Amino acid sequence: MANTTLTIKDLHVAIDGKEILKGVNLEIKSGEFHAVMGPNGTGKSTLASAIMGHPKYEVTKGSVTLDGKDVLEMEVDERARAGLFLAMQYPSEISGVTNSDFLRSAINATRGEGNEIPLMKFIKKMDEKMELLDIDLNMAQRYVNEGFSGGEKKRNEILQLLMLDPKIAILDEIDSGLDIDALKVVAKGINSMRNSEFGCLIITHYQRLLNYITPDYVHVMMQGRIVKSGGPELARRLEAEGYDWIKKELGIEDETVEVEQEA
Amino acid sequence: MTTQIQYPFDQGFIESFSSQNGEPNWFKERRIDAFTKMDQIPMPKPDKTKITNWNFIEFKQHSVNSAPFSNVEELPESLRRLIDLEGGIKNLYIQHNQTAGFLSLTDELKDQGVIFTDLITAVKNHGELVEKYFMTKGVKPDEHRLAAFHAALVNGGAFLYIPKNVQVTEPIQSIFVHDNGDAPLINHVLIVADENSSVTYVENYISLNDQTTGIANIITEVIALSNSRVRVGAVDTLAKGVTTYVNRRGYTDRDAQIEWALGMMNDGHTISENETNLIGEGSVCDTKTVVIGRGEQIQNFTTEVRHFGKNTEGTILKHGVVKDRATTVFNGIGKIEHGATKSNAQQESRVLMLSEKARGDANPILLIDEDDVLAGHAASVGRVDPIQLYYLMSRGIPREEAERLIIHGFLEPVVSQLPIEGVKKQLIEVIERKVQ
Ligand SMILES: Nc1ncnc2c1ncn2[C@@H]1O[C@H](COP(=O)(O)OP(=O)(O)O)[C@@H](O)[C@H]1O
Ligand SMILES: [Mg+2]
């Protein structure tokens, strides 16, 4: 049985010379669902982007390994083929490239030359996953994310997750901008991935999503660090009481850190 | 005449080949008239490209006799691939240099009065129509020297006429094959869509081998009469050694519509004009161009929509990829004349540069002489977006493949418009080869 571990040690990350992450430690194993919560602007997306290799984010210290292999040494595409996946908070639009061509290229890139997915099998899988996610079938022929609504983009990220079947996935604010029905559908998709060979890191700043996907571990991020970890009960307390008690507990004073409620 | 320029031809020469062709007098006279004006009118001046040292005029001989390509079975593979052989050949004309070859038009269309034939035959057999529309409403022989040169020396092309109320559903295709640089390709396609008709026409200009040299002077005129709809697809793939002047011109009467989808894939220096004059009220032009520049190639593409009629609508979209040391200039002009109220002129030009030495220029121009109108433009010159690359790569796609996808996507607006599968495939393959 394949058992995968993503290990993040003392990770420091800067954008344009400004240090955002100041020593993050985290370990995610297959079979585990982790949630990282925290107010806006505390570095959650920075963590996700640095792990995936976003060109703007510079790792200044620390390590990220996948089963002992140095992730930071890998090109972005190698990271993906090694089994990492990131559902992005703001997915790009790729004009002129259909979702279906994009996904087929992605799947075949991982399968390798000579082992391409048979077209019929691909279509069947894609139809199946789109149905599960309540996605209009014509989305396969639309250009990647072009003209998609916020909700459609999020669903499209999850569609890619289901199609690519990674070992470890990071989902960055996959719940933001979704109405309750869409949230349930997205949660259903994510839950369908749950098995002993899949690990997941869910980034969110609401408890809402965690009502549908129960995490095994909850971490709170503030000011570029994970400041508290616990079980699902931690998320519920955050929902009820906000982040102030943690700030007090830790003596954090930062006027930019505040929980906003989304419309 | 104030002639200082020595042309490789004179009036007697023109008279004699016109007679040899058996052309009627009116056509011969137009040739001579254009020839006598040639010297007095200036060369075209494409904005931001200097063409004074380019040869558009000198050639060894006016025409060459080439194998007539009258049998599709014997065509070279590169041509066969452009034709829908499986679906059965329906409406197709093939010309080899100056030699008219294979021609077919379905009986159904013939019975409906559709005319499709090589230009010289049309001049002889359908003189009335050709005389009325040949370089009268579209390109005028005295616009500039290359138009006059064209009118004087045209040596090939095709004529397509769709009668009133006829809807042609199958595309009509021309393939102009060039493989002999001794004679210039002075080629004219005239399309007349009569009232309430519709047609889709696709043309290929293709060099049979990479070594072909010479000059090409190409004009395609589309005359869309009231309430007609004409879709034109073109893929040009002339070789590196061919210097091309190409002018694709549209004219619309009331409520007529012209759509252009132009795949400009020449490997040589190219000056391209694509202008549509929206004369009639409520007429529409949608023009899409994709371009790849590579090597040392210098190319200039001027796309213009001129609004004369009220309520006219023009949309220009141009996407170009430039690599190596190539230069590509995009001039987009939306011109709304006085009186063309409620018109809408929109344009978008984007150039993607793939190398440090590549040069791209996108100049959007709006000339508006009326108050109650809409107009807009977007233009950009840039490189492949690193964030888009990151997104694709984050799904496991290697960098090169990701770039390839982005470039194909960028050129897709025209690819997706081509109605003939073989031509679409050809364009995709050419793009593939050129961006590698
Ligand atoms: N591209 C960027 N350039 C400069 N600063 C940025 C950029 N992206 C994010 N930041 C800054 O980094 C900090 C963390 O941002 P981010 O990781 O997106 O937070 P979160 O995802 O927790 O809301 C913020 O203060 C933000 O302003
Ligand atoms: Mg974020």
- Predicted-complex ipTM score: 0.95
- Closest chain A residue to B391 measured between Cα atoms? A92
A257 pLDDT more than 60: no
**Ligand 1 atom nearest A224 alpha carbon:** 14
Q: Which of A80, A88, A101 sits opposite B396 (nearest CB)?
A: A80
Q: What is the pLDDT of residues B188-245, one digit of tens each?
A: 999 999 999 999 999 999 999 999 999 999 999 999 999 999 999 999 999 999 999 9
A38 CA distance to ligand 2 middle (Å): 10
pLDDT of residue B5: 55
Q: What is the pLDDT of residues A72-124, one digit of tens each?
A: 999 999 999 999 999 999 999 999 999 999 999 999 999 999 999 999 999 99
Domains in chain A, ordered, with CATH? 5-94+166-250 (3.40.50.300)
Q: What is the pLDDT of residues A228-244, one digit of tens each?
A: 999 999 998 988 898 88
The domains of chain B are located at 11-280, 386-436
Q: Give the Cα separation of A259 and A251 in Å (integer).
A: 17
Q: Confirm or reject contact between B404 and chain A (CB < 8 A).
A: no
Q: Give the Cα separation of B399 and B104 in Å (integer).
A: 46
pLDDT of residue A177: 86
Which residue, among B127, B216, B234, B148, has the nearest Cα to B179 in the 3D structure?
Answer: B216
Q: CA of A68, closest CA in chain B: separation in Å?
A: 20
- Tell me the mean pLDDT in the region A240-261: 72
Q: Give the Cα separation of A18 and A101 in Å (integer).
A: 38
Helix (H, G, I), strand (E, B) or coil at B45: coil
A interface test, pick of B387, B394, B414 with most A CB neighbours within 10 Å: B394
Residue owning the nearest CA to atom 7 of ligand 1: A15
pLDDT of residue A263: 36
- Tell me the mean pLDDT in the region A140-159: 96
Chain A positions in Cβ-Cβ contact with residue B410 (cut-off 8 Å):
95-96
* Residue in this structure with the two tokens 């009509």, named with its chain if needed: B172
Q: What is the pLDDT of residues A28-77, one digit of tens each?
A: 999 999 999 999 999 999 999 999 999 999 999 999 999 999 999 999 99
Q: What is the pLDDT of residues B292-347, one digit of tens each?
A: 999 999 999 999 999 999 999 999 999 999 999 999 999 999 999 999 999 999 99
Q: Give the Cα separation of B260 and B272 in Å (integer).
A: 13
pLDDT of residue A239: 86
pLDDT of residue B6: 60
Residues in chain B: 436
Residue A81 · residue A199 · CB < 8 Å: no
- Tell me the mean pLDDT in the region A248-258: 68
| pTM of the predicted protein model | 0.90
Query: Across the beta sheet with A69-70, what order do the strands follow?
Result: A18-29, A5-15, A57-66, A69-70
Chain A positions in Cβ-Cβ contact with residue B399 (cut-off 8 Å):
75, 77
Q: Give the Cα separation of A163 and B217 in Å (integer).
A: 51
Chain A positions in Cβ-Cβ contact with residue B398 (cut-off 8 Å):
75, 77, 109
**Residue ranges in chain B modelled with pLDDT below 70:** 1-7
